[in-house]
Amino acid sequence: MSLLISQLGLKPDALHGETVIVTGAGGGIGYEAARALLWLGANVVIAEIHQPSGRKAEVALEQEFGKERVLFVATDVGDEASVKNLYTLSVLAFDKVDAVINNATIAVLGEVKDLPIEEWDRSYHVNLRGPVLMARTFLPDMIKRNHGVFACVSSTGTAFLGGYETFKAAQVHLANTLDAELERTNVNAYT
């Protein structure tokens, strides 16, 4: 299947030698982002909590782009030990991480007054705690090398999405805060 990115005038090797982690890349937006990054020449680490989806994505991307540039690491982005394992395995495979795309998400739906606090906690775990742990784990090396990108796939919404959108909207502020803190570096943060 043809990639839209191939029609935008970008060179297929524009990101050659760069390593990008895409959380939630077992399907959907994350999977397609991983495909586009691989087409651009990057090494891609699929950080996915659902192992069957992560393995399936890994196999499909290896078939399309080759085994040497794709790695799947089962990852719970809201768990500090799991994120540290992701860091260790990514660096072992590719020596460094140049970019993180925080795409993993969990959508909890319902009215604020009715949504159980456990659903808010599940959403916080992935949609805000996850990006914070990723920043704490991966930004220090990027800052040390004075090179990197930290992106959040955020959103804002309305009724019945509060348990999801509250934390996704908080990613906007997280990225803005990081961008200000990284101002005198060649590391960029955005949503």
What's the alpha-carbon Rg for the chain, to the nearest Å?
A: 16
Tell me the three state secondary structure of residue 109.
coil
How far is it, in rounded angstroms, from Cα 43 to Cα 138?
16
Please tell me which residue in 31, 124, 164, 190 is annotated as part of the active site. Answer: 164
Q: How many residues does the chain have?
A: 191
Concerning whether 164 is annotated as a catalytic residue, the answer is yes
CB 163, CB 109: distance < 8 Å: yes
CB 9, CB 40: distance < 8 Å: no
Which residues are designated catalytic? 164
